[in-house]
Amino acid sequence: MTDSERTVLVVDDDRAFATLTATHLREALPGVDVEVRVDPRAAIESLGRADAVVSDHEMPAMTGLDLLCVARRRAGDLPFVLFTGCESAAVREGADAAGATGYVSKHECHAFDAVVRAVSASLDARVEATP
């Protein structure tokens, strides 16, 4: 699978932040297609085309953990990075329990770099696991 065949889905109800996240991913992972959804319900329809998901947690329609649970039911081991401003230990534990690939706080000094590393590692691991 080449980079141009891989798609990362960014889900965040804050369109500006979602666009900024997508820009960082596009710059760091040339050739990877990055799609943005500001409504997690609309993102559900795109899960089947995605090779990785980066999602906020606190969104009006449903939480990132809710979306993660849907992703696990529909897309199995789809890499899923929760990228959130929520500093709750309960959310982090919930993400781990639900099988999140990564958890990155938006408040980290190098948060975008951490998201890029998590997504890149997830995509690489997925390619290596493909027969």
**Distance between CA 121 and CA 70 in Å, rounded?**
22
pTM of the model as a whole: 0.92
**Per-residue pLDDT tens for 35-74?**
999 999 999 999 999 999 999 999 998 999 999 999 999 9
Number of continuous H segments (helices) and E segments (strands) in the chain: 5, 5
* The 52-55 sheet, strands edge to edge: 33-37, 7-11, 52-55, 80-84, 102-105
Task: Say if residues 106 and 76 touch (Cβ distance below 8 Å).
Answer: no
Domain containing residue 28: 1-92
* Residue 16 Cα to chain centre, angstroms: 16
Domain assignment present for residue 86? The answer is yes
Domain assignment present for residue 39? The answer is yes
CB count within 10 Å of CB 37 equals 22
Q: Which residues contact 16 (CB under 8 A, 6 or more apart)?
A: none
Question: 130 pLDDT exceeds 70?
Answer: no
Task: Locate 73 and state its tokens.
Answer: 């039911």
Judged by DSSP in three states, 92 sits in helix
Domain assignment present for residue 104? The answer is no
Instruction: Write down the pLDDT at residue 61.
Output: 87
Number of structural domains found in the chain: 1
Any idea what the CATH number is for the domain that residue 54 is in? Answer: 3.40.50.2300
Backbone angles phi, psi at 6, to 5 degrees: -105, 140
